[in-house]
Amino acid sequence: MLPIGDSRLVQILDAALADAARRSGDWLVCQPGCTQCCVGVFAIHQLDVARLQQGLRELAGSDPERARSVRERARKSVERLAEGFPGDAVTGLLDSSEEAEARFEDFANDEPCAALDPQTGLCDLYQSRPMTCRVFGPPVRSEQGLGVCDLCYHGATEEQIAACEMQVDPQGLEAQLLEEFELSSGKHGRTLVAFALASEPVQ
């Protein structure tokens, strides 16, 4: 079960995204059907897992057939990801060693997200998507500097891009909620979207 504060975290990030999109104007070309950020695996934490699984359960209640399609895509994705998986392919937990982290850099970069509907190009679990998905597109600062989507901000200067920077969780609420969730649930470690969804039963 998700912690009470998770809905506040989602609201904070969605508001930050909306603000960054407003400042970006036509430079931010992200729109429904653009799926570049939906191809290639990325690590998610246990709070993301819980949110995705709750979203899949809710989808099963409102659209059982679509929920079954999501889980089937996830199951097939897990089968493809098992070979060479940089971690435990049974539990889906990623290894945190330096060697495994290096292997993950080039792992499954062409694998589509299981939540992506290949027919519509839309995310079937958009409202429950991981935090990484919620901050993709606008300029976001990391240890490597200010990163943006390759499709966006063409023609913008460095100063103009910096002026559109998305302020991601400045109060550190995500880290706090994740720590609380791991303590209360006993679930730890990072995994992938496919493993999170394949393990959630859908009637």
Nearest to residue 120, comparing CAs of 38, 53, 200? Answer: 38
pLDDT(189) > 90: yes
Q: What tokens does 74 get?
A: 């996830």
Residue 142 has pLDDT above 90, yes or no: no
Distance between CA atoms of residues 110 and 108, nearest Å:
5
Q: Is 116 helix (H, G, I), strand (E, B) or coil?
A: strand
* Cα 90 from Cα 92, distance rounded (Å): 6
Q: What is the dihedral of CA 123, 121, 89, 130, to 10 degrees?
A: -30
Query: Rounded mean pLDDT of 147-160?
Result: 92
Q: State residue 201's pLDDT score.
A: 67
Distances (CA, A) of 151 to 37, 100, 127, 191: 10, 30, 23, 27
Domain range list for the chain? 6-198
- 48-66 pLDDT per residue, tens: 999 999 999 999 999 999 9
The whole-number average pLDDT for the span 29-57 is: 95
pLDDT tier for residue 28 given thresholds of 50, 70 and 90: very high
pLDDT of amino acid 21: 94
